[in-house]
Structure 1
Amino acid sequence: MAGAVIRNTNLEFFTARADQARAEAEAATLDHVRERCRRSEEAWNALAAKAARSEKLRAEEALRKSQQVTT
């Protein structure tokens, strides 16, 4: 169970960092700073998407294994 907590925390962390980068981009007055923040947001969103996919696959695999044990 502790592993699931770590993965959820990573997903939440990645999402929070993307939100922070988005807010910084919106507040930026310099174009190069705004673009840097947007690139950062894109990278954090990609990490969050990967973490979400991994979590989904782990859950599906756990379900598949639990069904094998019970049959």
Structure 2
Amino acid sequence: MVQTFEFYKERAEEAAQRAEDATLENVKTRELRAQKSWMTLANQARRTVEAREKAEATRIAKREAEAAEAAASE
């Protein structure tokens, strides 16, 4: 299952809310750590999508250039 930026961001927001609602310091600390971890995963997921999109755009441009070159040489 592919997890999305939105999924991870929602989990981070939930952890932040639990930290805000916590009365015990150790629970607050745990939830803030969880929030940080979820946001790290969210950012990683976003960067992965961006890298895939960039790679795909590069592949498309390369194919188009090769097709144009082939058409010009005919």
Report the secondary structure of 2:4's partner residue: helix
1:10 CA drift (Å): 1.8
Quick one: distance in 2 between partners of 1:52 and 1:13?
11
Unaligned stretches of 5+ residues in structure 2 = 66-74
Partner of 2:32: 38
TM-score, with normalisation over the residues of structure 1? 0.85
Quick one: distance in 2 between partners of 1:11 and 1:52?
6
1:26 CA drift (Å): 0.6
Work out which of the two has the higher radius of gyration on C-alpha atoms and give 1 or 2.
Answer: 2
1:58 CA drift (Å): 0.3
CA RMSD in angstroms, aligned pairs only: 1.3
Identity of aligned residues (%): 29
Residues 1:12 and 2:16 aligned together = no
